[in-house]
């Protein structure tokens, strides 16, 4: 089993199940043309975010780390017309590409892109949110998780991307700030009462990584 097998399986399921359409493909093209890094979620992962938002019945979503709004489009399409996504992006070039992609997707009125470093803009963001997608600088993961707890509705779902890092997450002595950030996040989740969580390892066209799925218990849970 190797990277080309994983990519071929992603391509197979993308073609059969995922439903990536021309708007999403155009968003990826626009990201490539603007020279953005090719680190957006895969079509299968985007579809999974979309399904989680629908399964939760989410009306308000907070994303940290927009890039060109590829994942944002998947999430925004899961919401009712009155639903809203707020997405936080530090890089002004990324934010501009994201806004153009959202406008082309017909989602400009459903999504607000807030420019700036998330730890600076989060204090001005009003909750509650039903679903969070944490996908920015991994060193700040634990802080983003704490913000999500503050802004969560009962039963809110929190998804954190890129928590396996090719398996490096198990290296307790790692000096990689991303690995350290993921480990601080995991420790923070583990010591928070009332959180149900699971970490899923994934392979696919983006290699070997994974995500954490967490749920904030409702009052009576």
Question: Residues interacting with ligand DHB, by CB under 6 A?
Answer: 39, 135, 161-162
| 205 is a contact residue toward ligand SAH (CB under 6 A) | no
Q: What's the rounded Cα separation, in Å, for the pair 195 and 155?
A: 10
Cβ distance to ligand SAH smaller for residue 79 or 118: 118
Cβ distance to ligand DHB smaller for residue 89 or 161: 161
Residues of 68-106 as b/e, b for ≥16 C-beta within 10 angstroms?
bbbbbbbbbbbbeeebebbbbbbbeebbebbbbbbebbe
Residue nearest to ligand DHB (CB): 39
Minimum CB separation from ligand SAH for residue 108, in Å?
Answer: 17
Candidate list 30, 67, 76, 134; residue touching ligand SAH; CB under 6 A: 67
Candidate list 43, 47, 48, 71; residue touching ligand SAH; CB under 6 A: 71
Q: What are the start-end ranges of the H helices in 109-217?
A: 118-121, 141-151, 177-190
Looking at residue 140, what DSSP letter applies?
G
Opening angle at CA 98, ends 93 and 102, nearest 5: 155
Candidate list 135, 156, 159, 180; residue touching Mg ion; CB under 5 A: 135
């Amino acid at each position: 089993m190797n990277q080309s097998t994983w990519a071929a399986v992603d391509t197979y399921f993308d073609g059969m199940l995922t439903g990536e359409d021309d708007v999403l493909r155009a968003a990826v093209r626009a990201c490539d043309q603007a020279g953005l890094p090719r680190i957006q979620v895969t079509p299968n992962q985007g579809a999974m975010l979309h399904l989680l938002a629908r399964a939760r019945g989410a009306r308000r979503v907070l994303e940290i780390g927009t890039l060109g709004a590829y994942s944002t489009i998947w999430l925004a399409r899961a919401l009712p017309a009155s639903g809203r996504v707020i997405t936080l992006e530090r890089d002004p070039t990324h934010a501009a590409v994201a806004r153009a992609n959202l406008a082309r997707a017909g989602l400009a009125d459903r999504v607000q892109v807030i420019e700036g470093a998330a730890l600076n803009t989060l204090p001005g963001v009003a909750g509650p949110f039903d679903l969070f997608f944490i996908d920015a600088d991994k060193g700040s993961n634990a802080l983003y998780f704490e913000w999500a707890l503050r802004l969560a509705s009962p039963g809110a779902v929190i998804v954190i991307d890129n928590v396996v890092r090719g398996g490096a997450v198990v290296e307790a002595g790692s000096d990689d700030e991303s690995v350290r950030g993921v480990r601080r996040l995991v420790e923070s989740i583990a010591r928070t009462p009332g959180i149900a969580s699971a970490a899923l390892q994934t392979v696919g066209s983006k290699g070997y990584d994974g995500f954490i799925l967490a749920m904030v218990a409702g009052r009576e849970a």
